[in-house]
Amino acid sequence: MPLTCTTCNAENPDSAVFCEECGIELGDSDAGLDTASTLEAEPLAEPDALEETVLEPVAAADDQDGGGTSNLDEVLHAPETEVPMEPATTDIPPASLTLISFGQSTDTVIPLKTSPLMLGKFDPAQGPIDIDLSNLPGNEYLSRRHGELFFDDGWTVRDLGSTNGVFVRRSKDSNFLPRLQGPMKLEDGDEVAFGNLRFMFRLSPDQSE
């Protein structure tokens, strides 16, 4: 009697063990069912607990050698060292301005011992000035801040924006130079005019030689 495959309904000889059509084992009622093999997943092994790593402070090199203080500690606690201050330069050669009136030197002498020195007229609203020329004849041509004398590798004069200017006549010249537009170094025997007030510039005897 032929065997009928329960899966594909094909007829097979009664001596057949497997279906000639689909290859299923004959006589097995569960042969036509796709049996899904369920694999039970094994739980993953839990990772070992991470050991907590504690970083120990590293001692300074000096401490490792025998308990000494670190270089930083020595710097922070080092005694303060006083740096000697160089004295301010006060080596200014003395000089003077001698008032000239009617072409002749007078007894009015203004010593020049410090630098800088501002020349002009005293103004009660603005305060004192270094060299006040307001009591000299001809001061009507002076500005309050007329000119300045200062020492910079030599005595130097400059105009401070005055109305009537500053002029210099070299000792070897017969005429004044044009109105100053910038600083000019003075030489012993030069004549300096602030407006219409004229002075002879003189260095001390040991400086003029």
Alpha carbon distance 191, 130 (integer Å): 20
Q: CB within 8 A of 60, min separation 6: which ones? A: 70, 71, 72
- Measuring CA to CA, how many Å separate 208 from each of 109, 149, 154, 203? 17, 18, 12, 5
Query: What does the radius of gyration of the chain's CA atoms come to, in whole angstroms?
Result: 57
The whole-number pLDDT of residue 144 equals 94
Compute the average pLDDT of residues 64-79. 59
pLDDT one-digit tens code per residue, 44-67 = 555 555 555 556 655 555 544 555
On the question of pLDDT at 121 being above 90, the answer is yes
On the question of pLDDT at 188 being above 70, the answer is yes
Alpha carbon distance 164, 100 (integer Å): 18
| Residue 4 or residue 120, greater confidence | 120
